[in-house]
């Protein structure tokens, strides 16, 4: 019985080691892919960024964004960073409503809404760093 448990334990340890190595290899490939994509975006000469449903700019953005804004924009409020409006709460509510709508990606309404809002606003960058 002891020998059987010992053999099962050895087999389990080998499986754990194999799976750990597989995960390590996958993580390395993912990291390399992320570096490659970041390199492409950083050298495109354009600002690329994303933001969450709470309208905060995510910390991963292209280096051109720092050139454009002369600051680290990660964590800043997207709406307040890009527009100056008379009724910011109303428009912010509109953005949040679109972001929570599961159809917004299919309808491309978010992109059109952002383009319209930025084009019809006085751009600004408010730094609260």
Q: What is the pLDDT of residues 94-108, one digit of tens each?
A: 666 666 666 655 444
Q: d(Cα 73, Cα 127) in Å, to the nearest integer? A: 8
pLDDT of 12 higher than 80:
yes
Whether residue 125 has pLDDT greater than 70: no
pLDDT value at 20 more than 90: yes
Backbone angles phi, psi at 30, to 5 degrees: -65, -45
The average pLDDT across 116-128 equals: 46
Tens digit of pLDDT for each residue in 28-44? 999 999 999 999 989 98
Q: How far apart are CA 35 and CA 62, in angstroms?
A: 12
> Given a cut of 90, is residue 1 above it in pLDDT?
no
Domain ranges of the chain: 1-43, 47-129
Q: How far apart are the first and last CA of the chain?
A: 65
What pLDDT sits at residue 89?
Answer: 55
CB hemisphere CA count around 54 (13 angstroms): 4
Reported as a single tens digit per residue, the pLDDT across 35-71 is 999 999 899 888 888 887 778 888 988 988 888 888 8
Considering only the C-alpha atoms of the chain, give the largest distance between any 2 of them, rounded to a whole number of Å.
Answer: 78
Mean predicted confidence (pLDDT) in 7-13: 93
């Amino acid at each position: 019985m002891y020998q059987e448990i010992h053999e099962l334990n050895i087999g389990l340890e080998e499986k754990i080691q194999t799976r750990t190595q597989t995960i390590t290899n996958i993580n390395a490939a993912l990291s390399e892919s992320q570096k490659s994509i970041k390199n492409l975006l950083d050298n495109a000469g354009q600002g690329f960024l994303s933001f969450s449903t709470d309208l905060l700019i995510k910390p991963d953005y292209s280096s051109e964004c720092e050139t454009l804004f002369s600051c680290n924009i990660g964590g800043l409020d997207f709406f307040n960073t890009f527009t100056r409006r008379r009724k910011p709460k109303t428009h912010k509510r509109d953005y949040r409503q679109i972001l929570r709508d599961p159809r917004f990606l299919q309808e491309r309404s978010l992109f059109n809404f952002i383009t319209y809002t930025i084009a019809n606003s006085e751009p600004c960058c408010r730094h609260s760093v």
